[in-house]
Amino acid sequence: MNPINIIFRRELAAYFSTPLAVVFIVIYLMLTGVFTFYLGNFFERGQADLQSFFAFHPWLYLFLVPAIAMRIWAEERKSGTIELLLTLPITMGQAVIGKFLAAWAFVAIALAGTFPIWITVNVLGDPDNGIIIAAYLGSLLMAGAYLAVGVGVSAATKSQVIAFIISLLLCFIFTLAGFPLVLDAFSSWLPGGVVDALASMSFLTHFQSLQKGVIDLRDVIFFIAFIGAWLYACALIVDARKAD
């Protein structure tokens, strides 16, 4: 069996070995419901689609994904098991990818738990299910991007609280990177090229068309490249700080 697969299975099982997994999934599902029906005006809109459901995903992930990601490496370093893991015959890349995929699969399970809303909208009307499937895929991709940030930050500290707060901050910047709220904070002191690059990494912008069911290859490539870059950084951070 491939080491990535072995690590993936251990990590995923670890989520469900504590009440954390259930608590997280319940909170996630409750909040999606609240946002969709109260803030998104699901019924009042009178449209047979899930726009009001997907529109809030970036904001949910912003808080919930760093909470999943914070323990991934921080706990490993704090408890010393990192020394055990990294002296077993595996590569750093296998460890980083295995752990990331397990967390991503966990988010996917939580996301899959929202299926009743999909059934609801099909009962109430006649939505375009192709759009909904595309939006689900887009949402999962975006969750992966949030997760990749969180995993990288988790590797830099032993404290899960610090990991949570810093990844929350970074995720907030990436969520709104294309908007004045974030750009104004950087445009005065960073060179224009860097600000433009930051603006182009806005999750919200890249998710915009995906949630409407438009699978633009550029958005997909953006999220995949973003995940890859952060995982690479994560491997470097783990390597540099594992023994501190």
Partner 1 sequence: MIEVESLTKDFGLRRAVDKLSFTVKPGEVLGFLGPNGAGKSTTMKMITGFLTPTSGTARINGHDIQTAPVAAKREFGYLPEGAPGYADMRVMDFLEFAADLRQLQGDYRQQRLQQVVADVHLEGVLGQKIDTLSKGFRRRVGLAQAILHDPKVLILDEPTDGLDPNQKHEVRRLINSMAEDKIIIISTHILEEVDAICSRAMIIAQGKLLADDTPANLAARAESGRLDDFFRDITAGGLS
C-alpha 90 chain-centroid distance:
26
When the beta carbons of 84 and 181 are compared against partner 1, the nearer one is 84
When the beta carbons of 105 and 215 are compared against partner 1, the nearer one is 105
Stretch that binds partner 1, among 80-88, 111-119, 158-166, 182-190 (CB under 8 A): 80-88
Contact 210, 134 (CB under 8 A): yes
When the beta carbons of 57 and 99 are compared against partner 1, the nearer one is 99
Stretch that binds partner 1, among 54-62, 79-87, 215-223, 230-238 (CB under 8 A): 79-87
Interaction mask 84-123, partner 1, x per CB under 8 A:
x-xxxxxx--------------------------------
Question: Which pair of structure tokens corresponds to residue 82?
Answer: 């990192």
| Residues 215, 218, 223: CA angle, nearest 5 degrees | 90
Distance CA 237, CA 91 (A): 14
C-alpha 54 chain-centroid distance:
14
Which residue in the set 13, 23, 161, 194 belongs to the binding site for partner 1 (CB under 8 A)? 13
Question: Which pair of structure tokens corresponds to residue 169?
Answer: 């901050």
243 binds partner 1 (CB under 8 A): yes
Distance CA 19, CA 22 (A): 5
Q: How far is the CB of 162 from partner 1 (least distance, A)?
A: 20
Contact 92, 86 (CB under 8 A): yes
Q: How far is the CB of 78 from partner 1 (least distance, A)?
A: 10
Distance CA 211, CA 68 (A): 23
80 binds partner 1 (CB under 8 A): yes
81 binds partner 1 (CB under 8 A): yes
In the Cβ-directed half-sphere of 162, how many Cα atoms lie within 13 Å?
11
C-alpha dihedral sign at 42, 47, 48, 52 = negative
When the beta carbons of 17 and 188 are compared against partner 1, the nearer one is 17
Contact 142, 206 (CB under 8 A): yes
21 binds partner 1 (CB under 8 A): no
Size of the site for partner 1 (CB under 8 A): 23
19 binds partner 1 (CB under 8 A): no
Which residue in the set 39, 45, 79, 161 belongs to the binding site for partner 1 (CB under 8 A)? 79
When the beta carbons of 1 and 123 are compared against partner 1, the nearer one is 1
**Size of the chain in residues:** 244
- Cα dihedral: 60, 228, 178, 27 (round 10): 0
When the beta carbons of 103 and 141 are compared against partner 1, the nearer one is 103
List contacts with partner 1 (CB under 8 A).
1, 3, 6-7, 10, 13-14, 17-18, 79-81, 83-84, 86-91, 239, 242-243
